Each structure stands twice: as C-alpha cells, then as structure tokens.
C-alpha cells in the first residue's frame, strides 16, 4: 500500500470529503473499465456499478484494516458488485425473457454467419474482419467461460494485473488463479482458432 493511499484512507476514515474525492479521482478510470468489461460493454450500467462500488467501499471503510492495499480491497468490492448485478440480471432474464433471449441468440448467430466471410476465401481473417466484429466474437467466447475464469482472464489480459493482485481481488490462492487463467486461455485459444495464427 503506497503511503499516499494509506494517508488518504486514514483521512477518509475520519470523514474527510477531500480524501474521498482524491480516491475517487485516482481509481475511477480503472474501476469504470473493469465494470465496463464485466457488464459486457454497457457504459450506463458500468457507471452505475462503479458508483455503487465506491459507495459500498466508503461506507465500509471504517472496517478496512489495511492488511491489503486499498486498491485490491476496493477492486474486490467492485468485482463483487459487478458479479451480483450480473447474477441478478441473468436470474431475471431466465425467469421472464428466456424465450426472447433464445430467439435473439438464434438471430444473432444467423446474422453473424451471414456477416463473416468464408474462411476459405480469405486466408487472413484479421484483414477481412474489423475490430468490432472481433470484439464481438471475443465477447461471445468470454461469455461461454465459467464466471471465475472469465473474471480472472479479464483482470489479467484486459487490465494487466499481476496474479498476486488478482488472487487478493477474487479471494483465491495464487495457484488457483493460475489454474483458472490457464483454463480460460486454453478455452479461448480453442474458441478463437482463426485469430491464433500470426
């Protein structure tokens, strides 16, 4: 934990509004990016979740003992907030709109099949598909991963965190994180075969 964070946390624990403001300014970008990736690119939802995570963190700041760094503690709250929201959304989707979701999925896959060029025609798919389509395919591949694998892969690859930090954020041992990361990489490597060849 950097000294500045320690100081800011101590001040925030004594309800100093300027300390809250500095902490928000320091971590808002990263927090928003994590939330954005975890809620599949919905910017409004990402902003709401970022706000909720900050509020949750500040409300329970008095319980923070400084055993880990502030940012891993805060990102843990953020990841849990995003996962809770995602689970809630999935549950309601399953209850009320499963048939609509199913129909949409079928239509999407049909549309994508039509959009994508025949791999045989173009030897290098990267030149044929724009990055948006690639992002869509990656998102779909990520959606098929189990929750923990997906979170760990996103934190590592998209946000460049260290395995040690990820272990603190998701509350698992480093070995478990490595194992999840390797499995996720393996699954994605299989799912994105066309993008593996340099």
Partner 1 sequence: MKNCSHWQETLWLEVYGELGPEEQQKWENHLSTCEACLQERKRLIHLLENVKEAMPEPSLSRESARALHTAIAEKLSENHHRAWWRNPFLAGYIKPLHVAAVCGMLVVAFGWFGVRGIQHTRTVKIVSDAGVEEKMIVNHIDILENLDLLEEMDTLEKLDQVMGRKNTTI
Give contact residues for partner 1 (rule: CB under 8 A): 15, 17, 20-21, 24-25, 28-29, 32-33, 36-37, 41, 43, 46-47, 50-51, 54-55, 58-60, 62-63, 126, 131, 134-135, 138-139, 156-159, 162-163, 178, 181-182, 185, 188-189, 192, 195-198
45 Cβ neighbours under 8 A, 6+ residues apart: 35, 39, 85
CA distance 181 to 18: 38
Residue 27 token pair: 């971590």
Instruction: Return d(Cα 86, Cα 47) in angstroms, integer.
Output: 14
Closest CB to partner 1 among 51 and 69?
Answer: 51
- Least Cβ distance, residue 9 to partner 1 (angstroms): 15
What is the closest distance, in whole angstroms, from the C-beta atom of residue 122 to partner 1 in the complex? 16
What does the alpha-carbon distance between residue 135 and residue 61 come to, in Å, rounded to a whole number? Answer: 37
- CB closer to partner 1, 4 vs 126: 126
Q: Please state the closest distance from residue 36 (CB atom) to partner 1, in A.
A: 5
Q: How far out from the chain centre does Cα 173 lie?
A: 19
């Amino acid at each position: 934990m950097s000294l500045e964070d320690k100081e800011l946390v101590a001040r925030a624990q004594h309800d100093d509004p300027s300390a809250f403001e500095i902490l928000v300014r320091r971590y808002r970008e990263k927090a928003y990016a994590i939330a954005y990736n975890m809620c599949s690119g919905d910017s409004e939802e990402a902003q709401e979740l970022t706000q909720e995570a900050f509020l949750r963190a500040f409300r329970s700041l008095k319980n923070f003992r400084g055993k880990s760094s502030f940012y891993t503690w805060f990102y843990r709250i953020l990841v849990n907030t995003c996962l809770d929201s995602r689970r809630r959304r999935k549950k309601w989707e399953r209850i009320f709109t499963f048939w609509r979701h199913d129909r949409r999925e079928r239509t999407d896959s049909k549309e994508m099949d039509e959009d994508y060029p025949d791999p045989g025609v173009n030897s290098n798919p990267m030149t044929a598909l724009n990055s948006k389509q690639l992002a869509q395919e990656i998102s779909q591949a990520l959606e098929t991963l189990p929750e923990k694998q997906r979170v760990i892969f996103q934190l590592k690859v998209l946000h460049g965190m260290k395995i040690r930090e990820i272990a603190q954020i998701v509350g698992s041992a480093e070995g478990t994180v490595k194992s999840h990361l390797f499995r996720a990489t393996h699954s994605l490597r299989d799912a994105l075969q066309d993008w593996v060849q340099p």
